[in-house]
């Protein structure tokens, strides 16, 4: 796992994660665990049992991705960099037809259960923001 998970999550700070991606990440993690435990796909072992054998109750990989992404958000909001200006920029013009695509900020808003502007204000106090990140990553979903 020391090589596989970091390789699989390289650049995850920039990902936009939807439900399908979340399920795929969890499936990949379970596939790795089953490979380590030498559990064949023909054996009828539930995912919960695999997590118990590994010593955890929930998927770790998705939690670490959330933590990396939220930490990166805090880093961007605290510093005056090009990334911050891009993140806060408003595009001119009309929006295209149909449902808006999921944005990077949607994950932040969903996980911290607040607006992006409010989350940006939270980042000024590092300890408070760290606690919020810890709460967000410990929640399931």
pLDDT in tens, 103-118: 999 999 999 999 988 9
Model pLDDT, residue 81 = 87
Spans of all domains in the chain: 4-59, 62-90+100-138
What residues contact residue 45 under an 8 Å CB cut-off, 6+ apart?
34, 39
Q: How far is CA 9 from CA 26, 40, 49, 107, 126, in A?
A: 12, 25, 25, 16, 24
pLDDT of residue 87: 83
pLDDT recorded at residue 57:
84
Question: By percentage, how much of the chain surpasses pLDDT 70?
Answer: 98
């Amino acid at each position: 796992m020391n090589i596989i998970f970091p390789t699989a999550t390289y650049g995850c700070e920039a990902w936009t994660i939807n439900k399908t991606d979340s399920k795929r990440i969890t499936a990949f993690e379970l596939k790795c665990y089953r490979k380590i435990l030498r559990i064949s796909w023909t054996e009828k072992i539930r995912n919960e049992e695999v997590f118990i054998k590994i010593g955890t109750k929930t998927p770790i990989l998705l939690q670490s991705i959330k933590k990396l992404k939220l930490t990166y958000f805090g880093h961007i909001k605290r510093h005056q960099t090009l990334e911050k200006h891009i993140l806060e920029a408003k595009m001119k013009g009309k929006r295209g037809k149909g449902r808006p695509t999921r944005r990077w900020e949607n994950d932040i808003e969903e996980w911290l259960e607040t607006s992006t502007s409010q989350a940006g204000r939270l980042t000024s106090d590092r300890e408070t923001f760290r606690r919020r990140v810890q709460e967000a990553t410990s929640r399931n979903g």
